Amino acid sequence: MSKLYIVPTPIGNLKDMTFRAIDVLKEVDLILAEDSRTSGKLLKHYEIKTPMQSHHMHNEHKTLQGVIKKLQSGISVALISDAGTPAISDPGFLLTRACLENNIEVECLPGATAFVPALVNSGLPNDKFVFEGFLPVKKGRQTRLKQLAEESRTMIIYESPHKLVKTLNHLIEYLGEDRPVSISRELTKIYEETVRGSLKDVTKHYINNPPKGEIVIVVGGIK
């Protein structure tokens, strides 16, 4: 039966793979993987032998119609990213939209994503929040930061380790040094760490302790 499955994969700890996700990846006809080398390790660990095809941000526009034709032929396809839930700061939106436009069924499995545990363990209000993903690198960054300065909900931002201090300094500039923040890195991995405090104090910490690994910034909203 023609169907696209969106399948979350672990963000670090392989034990976070669900039984259902393993079953789906074994049963579909094709797996679309962001990086076949990364996903190959996961599939090997769970003895999943389903054929893989590359599908990432640099080729998804070119491969999109080919995938749609395969689905229209009656096969089932699973989409996975390197870590977490596809389409959350990873490829997936374009394919999902194209499937729905072509009346192809889409089903997203529940599973791992980095921002939820980062938000929950931050200690900041989580009844209402806004997910920003990665902030604009250049164009639009200043405008977005000005808008976030007036945001009352808790904000979630993804950042790479080598840009963390720069982004924290930008947040201080627009939100003020006393705004509460929680930084989670290497979630679910052996060196998992969460540092909480004011933007000023947390920035000082990472100036003195350059971070490694995937990072989630959770910032309190304006009061």
Domains of the chain: 3-108 (3.40.1010.10), 115-219 (3.30.950.10)
Within 10 angstroms of residue 3's Cβ, the number of other Cβ atoms is: 17
Q: What pLDDT does residue 61 have?
A: 81
Q: Using the predicted structure, report yes or no on whether residue 62 has a pLDDT greater than 90.
A: no
State the burial class of residue 75 (Cβ atoms within 10 Å of its Cβ: 0-12, 13-18, 19+): middle
Q: What pLDDT does residue 138 have?
A: 85
Q: What pLDDT does residue 58 have?
A: 78
Percent of the chain scoring above 90 in pLDDT: 89
Give the model's confidence band at 41: pLDDT under 50 very low, under 70 low, under 90 confident, else very high: very high
Give the model's confidence band at 107: pLDDT under 50 very low, under 70 low, under 90 confident, else very high: very high
pLDDT in tens, 190-208: 999 999 999 999 999 999 9
Q: Using the predicted structure, report yes or no on whether residue 57 has a pLDDT greater than 80.
A: no
Alpha-carbon gap, residue 156 to 193, rounded angstroms: 17
pLDDT in tens, 134-145: 999 888 999 999
Nearest to residue 82, comparing CAs of 120, 121, 52? 52
Q: Taking residues 88-107, what's their average pLDDT?
A: 94
State the burial class of residue 219 (Cβ atoms within 10 Å of its Cβ: 0-12, 13-18, 19+): buried
pTM as predicted: 0.92
Q: In this structure, what DSSP letter does residue 171 have?
A: H
Q: State how far the alpha carbon of 165 is from the alpha carbons of 98, 124, 137, 160, in Å.
A: 38, 21, 14, 10
Contact 218, 153 (CB under 8 A): no
CA 129, distance to chain mean position in Å, is 16
Q: What is the CA radius of gyration of the chain?
A: 19
Alpha-carbon gap, residue 147 to 145, rounded angstroms: 5
Q: Using the predicted structure, report yes or no on whether residue 53 has a pLDDT greater than 80.
A: yes
Q: What pLDDT does residue 159 have?
A: 97
Q: Using the predicted structure, report yes or no on whether residue 86 has a pLDDT greater than 80.
A: yes
